[in-house]
Amino acid sequence: MSDLIPPGLVTLDASLGTTTHDVITHLANQITAQGRATDAAELAEHALAREAKTATGVPGGIAIPHCRSAAVTAPTLAMARLADPVDFGAKDGPADLIFFIAAPEGADKDHLKLLSKLARALVKKSFTAALREAKSPREVVDLVAEVISDTPAAPAAARAAAESAAAEPAVTKRAKVVAVTACPTGIAHTYMAADALAQAAAELGIDFAVETQGSSGSTPLDAALINDADAVIFAVDVDVRDRGRFAGKPVIQVPVKRGVDEPAKLLTDAVAASTDPHARRVPATSAEDPAQGPDATKESFGGGLKRALLTGVSYMIPFVAGGGLLIALGFLLGGYAITDVADTYLGENTLWNLPEAGLLAYLGAAAFKIGSLSMGFLVPALAGYIAYAYADRPGIAPGFTAGAVAGFMGAGFIGGIVGGVIAGLACRWINSWSVPRWLRGLMPVVIVPLLGSIIASGLMFLVLGGPIARLTEALNDWLSGMSGVAAAGLGLILGLMMAVDLGGPVNKVAYSFAVAGLGAGSLVENPAPLMIMAAVMAAGMVPPLAMALATVIAPKLFSGAERENGKAAWLLGAAFISEGAIPFAAADPLRVIPASMVGAGVTGSLVMVFNVVSQAPHGGIFVFFAMNNTWPLFLLATVIGTVISALLVIILKKFVRKSPAVQAQPAAAESAGVAA
């Protein structure tokens, strides 16, 4: 395999600079000097652009910058062992072993084969130890030839690696990794992360299977796949369902967005964890693992609270969505007066004994009542699944009960959150008790639910319920009394939050705030929560719609791939899937995100000023009937914001120069990932 990495492309114990730009530029110059590329600057630019998307540093002091470029004339490896390590974005520190993979444009099979074989070899301690001990470029070439071609290395290389190889035999079987992806709404990031991980696994030569715990349901991983897996990746913002299936497996847990942004790195970390006896493992129960946060042995209280809240909201959304749409359908069929007669119609009449108002009124009463009952589960479901996130299944009953108590006392969603947190923490604490063997079977089904309910519901009744109810009443009064500048200001803030990270944590906070308030909203007595929901939904529609419009108005400012994404963004935006703008924000965050924020903020303000309402938490323009007569104003506000954002992004792309890709650093890559 000397045709891939000749000795002239091996640099040992040299200082090539202090940044990724310095190192990659030096290696690109070397490749060009060897006659394997026609333009060193173009090759370096492509490699650094790839580096800006996802840092290529991996644990163990290793980095694998790579790219496909028209400047490359033959598949090539360049290797450098640095005297002064350089930060390539790995969490364990800078890298001293650098492998630069350069492939010709269109040479996908060569590129992927090189990347997968080399990446798998670099997780073997015997291989990296031999590279660090190699005395000459020829020795390095022989070592690399062995792992790429699966043929025995030259005797000199074998001797250099003998000691390490004796301690750790080379592993030839393919690594096996399984994953679970989940986000609070389960609509976009869940599936984007799954696809990104699957694609990266194919590139790296890893056997991979993924379970998407999304809004459309999930097909659980086969037990045999889990048993055979070397490691598990949890790319989730909410709690993993049936986590106990993975008990004992090495685990990498991260926010779902990292599954989209850094799939190859997560897979490499998972493979490394599979051979690390000290790697974090999935516990048999959540009580054994108070640290369920990403990449930590102990989760902070704030991190655990965020995860629990997002879990509660994700399970609450179906109750709100179904209930809100059914109530709106009831009004559509039976008119607004249906609220006063629904109980009478359903109690005294049937399909064979219709009321005087007729069939539509009867069906409207049924839809309204079913929707109202569904909405009645909002606070108990929120509390129940917050507790579930802390204590797994034993926490569900105490959480639901605490939520029901909060509803009974008028404490609303704030009471549900407090009750759910107390129930979850109490159940997790009780579940951690050391009890006799004969009592263990009763703990999850009797002892934990009983004592957890007493603690959480007792505190709600005796201590917390009253003050929280008064706080909720004051909050509702304040929201109901908002008008003019105050309402516009709140809409502006919510709109900015919806567009700042497009499905990220800030976006989820705004959305969760709106959804949680729906239970207290009503068209006549308290429309403010319904207005907030409409503002959040309209603002979230603006970024993808604006990008779609911009690709139509000024197609030359966008790449071919972006123009194709723009076509899909029309539907995604209309359906209130903000993530439709992510490809644009990832490619150009400094111009796309500010433009999106301005338009979304304007839309949020206009919706509040126009008194637009929405009883549905999702669906965009397709749930217009849940907006009563205000949907034309909803559409107007959305169009205004879309036009503003589209024009702004066009102006910024024309007149504000983008920073050259060759100056991107791993830190910039990470900030771009957050913005996306």
Question: Which of helix, strand or coil describes residue 330?
Answer: helix
**What average pLDDT score do residues 150-155 get?**
44
3-state helix, strand, coil in the chain (%, to 5): 65, 10, 25
Instruction: Dump pLDDT digits (tens) for 93-134.
Output: 888 999 888 888 765 555 555 555 666 667 677 788 888 888
Question: For 415-449, what is each residue's pLDDT tens digit?
Answer: 889 999 999 999 999 988 888 878 877 888 889 99
pLDDT top residue among 246 and 292:
246
3-class SS string, 352-394? CECCCCCHHHHHHHHHHHHHHHHHCCHHHHHHHHHHHHHHCHH
Residues 467 and 498 in one domain: no
With CA atoms as reference, report the closest residue to 126 among 153, 98, 90, 88.
153
Domain boundary among 429, 461, 477: 477
> Per the domain annotation, does 296 fall within a domain?
no
Q: How far apart are CA 520 and CA 474, in angstroms?
A: 13
In this structure, how many other beta carbons lie within 10 angstroms of the beta carbon of residue 571? 15
Task: Flag whether pLDDT at 676 surpasses 50.
Answer: no
Mean pLDDT value of segment 58-76? 82
Q: What is the CA radius of gyration of the chain?
A: 29
C-alpha angle with apex 461: 459 to 465, nearest 5 degrees? 90
Residues 468 and 319 in one domain: yes
Check residue 391 and give its pLDDT: 86
Question: Distances from the Cα of 74 to the Cαs of 26, 68, 116, 117, in angstroms?
Answer: 18, 11, 18, 18
Q: Which of 267, 288, 309 is the last residue of a domain?
A: 288
Contact 547, 566 (CB under 8 A): yes
Nearest Cα neighbor of 456 from 414, 411, 412, 421 is 421
State the Cα angle at 634 between 633 and 637, rounded to 5°. Answer: 80
Tell me the mean pLDDT in the region 627-641: 91
**Residue 87 is part of a domain; what is its CATH number?**
3.40.930.10
Higher-pLDDT residue of 537 and 334 is: 537
The vertex-491 CA angle with 653 and 377, nearest 5°, equals: 120
Q: Give the residue, 634 or 54, on which the prediction is more confident.
A: 634
Query: Is the model's pLDDT at 188 over the cut of 70?
Result: no
Q: Are 373 and 326 in contact (CB under 8 A)?
A: no
Question: Looking up tokens 């609450």, which residue turns up?
Answer: 316
| Mean pLDDT across 658-675 | 37
Q: Is 66 a catalytic residue?
A: yes
Which residue would you say has higher pLDDT here, 382 or 55? 382
Cα–Cα distance measured from residue 77 to residue 144, given in angstroms and rounded to the nearest whole number: 10
Q: Let me know whether 504 and 637 are in one domain.
A: yes
pLDDT for the residue 628: 76
pTM greater than the 0.75 cutoff = no
Widest CA span in the chain: 97
Q: What is the pLDDT of residue 141?
A: 87
Catalytic residue among 21, 26, 66, 189: 66
68: closest CA among 103, 110, 108, 113?
A: 103
Residue 208 has a pLDDT of: 92
Torsion of CA 211, 62, 6, 121, to 10 degrees: -40
Residue that finishes a domain, picked among 446, 462, 477? 477
Domain limits for position 406? 301-477
Confidence band, pLDDT 50/70/90 cuts, at residue 596: very high
Q: Where are the beta strands (DSSP E) in 112-250?
A: 176-182, 207-212, 231-236
Name the pLDDT band for 658 (thresholds 50, 70, 90). low
**Pair 503, 445 in one domain:** no
Separation between Cα atoms, residue 156 and residue 135, nearest integer Å: 10
Are 549 and 602 part of one and the same domain?
A: yes
pLDDT higher than 60, residue 290: no
Q: Which helix (H) or strand (E) holds 643?
A: helix 631-655
- pLDDT for 106 equals 63
Does the structure show a pLDDT above 50 at 157?
no
Cβ neighbours, 10 Å, residue 359: 11
Structure tokens belonging to residue 110: 């060569």
Distance in angstroms (rounded) separating the CA atoms of residues 158 and 139: 9
In a domain, 293, yes or no: no
Give the CA dihedral 35, 40, 44, 47, nearest 10 degrees: -30
Is 29 a member of any domain?
A: yes
- 29/127 same-domain check: yes
**Are 208 and 103 contained in the same domain?**
no
pLDDT value at residue 553: 93
Structure tokens at 405: 């108590």
Chain length of the chain: 676
Question: Is 648 within a domain?
Answer: yes
Neighbouring residues of 75: CB distance < 8 A, sequence distance ≥ 6: 4, 102, 103, 104, 107, 110, 111, 114
Query: Is 183 annotated as catalytic?
Result: yes
CA atoms within 13 A on the CB side of 598: 13
Give residue 669's pLDDT: 36
The mean per-residue pLDDT over the stretch 312-320 comes to 81
Residue 394 reports pLDDT greater than 50 = yes
Which of 129-143, 252-266, 301-315, 483-497 has the weakest average pLDDT? Answer: 301-315
Over the chain, what is the mean pLDDT? 81
Q: Of 108 and 598, which is predicted with more confidence?
A: 598
- Whether residue 295 lies inside any domain: the answer is no
> Looking at residues 275-303, what average pLDDT do you find?
61
Distance CA 150, CA 128 (A): 16
Q: Specify whether the CB–CB gap between 423 and 456 falls below 8 A.
A: yes
Q: Comparing 74-83, 396-405, 435-444, 477-486, which segment has the lowest mean pLDDT?
A: 477-486
At residue 588, the 3 state secondary structure works out as coil
Nearest to 72 by CA among 98, 110, 116: 110
Calpha distance 298→63 (Å, rounded): 28
SS3 249: coil
In a domain, 1, yes or no: no
Residues 6+ apart with CB under 8 A from 634: 534, 538, 607, 610, 612, 614, 621, 624, 627
Catalytic pick among 67, 183, 189, 618: 183
**pLDDT higher at 627 or 451:** 451
Helices first, then strands: H and E counts in the chain? 27, 10
Neighbour-count burial of 575, counting CB atoms closer than 10 A to its CB (0-12 exposed, 13-18 middle, 19+ buried):
middle
- Does some domain include residue 242? yes
With 90 as the cut, is the pLDDT of residue 72 above it? no
Q: 547 with 591: CB under 8 angstroms?
A: no
Same domain, 32 and 103: yes
Overall number of domains in the chain? 4
Identity at 320, one-letter amino acid code: V
C-alpha 74/C-alpha 66 separation (Å) is 14
Distance (Å) of CA 127 to CA 14, 62, 124, 146, 231: 20, 12, 5, 10, 21
486 vs 478, 483, 489, CA distance in Å? Answer: 10, 6, 5
Enumerate the β-bridge partners of residue 211.
180
End-to-end distance of the chain based on CA atoms, in angstroms?
40
pLDDT of 159 higher than 60 = no
Please indicate, yes or no, whether residues 546 and 460 belong to a single structural domain of this protein. no
State whether 47 and 162 are in the same domain: yes
The residue type at 317: I
Q: What is the DSSP pairing of strand 62-63 with strand 10-14?
A: unpaired
What is the pLDDT at residue 673?
35
**Residue 198 and residue 163 share a domain:** no
CB contact set of 606 (below 8 Å; sequence gap of 6+): 491, 636, 637, 640, 641
* DSSP-assigned beta bridge partners for residue 254: 235
Going by pLDDT thresholds of 50, 70 and 90, the confidence category of residue 58 is confident
Compute how many other C-beta atoms are within 10 angstroms of the C-beta atom of residue 9: 23
Provide mean pLDDT across the span 210-216: 77
The strand pairing partners of 182, in sequence order, are: 236
CB distance 531 to 608 below 8 Å: yes
Could you report the per-residue pLDDT of 368-380, keeping only the tens digit for each? 899 889 888 888 9
Same-domain status, 278 and 185 = yes
When pLDDT is averaged across residues 591-615 and rounded to a whole number, the result is: 92
Residue 311 to residue 258: CA distance in whole angstroms: 18
Say if 452 falls within a structural domain: yes
Determine the pLDDT at residue 519: 67
State yes or no: pLDDT of 578 exceeds 90.
no
Given this model, what pLDDT does residue 293 score?
40
Kind plus residue range of the DSSP H or E element containing 80? strand 76-86
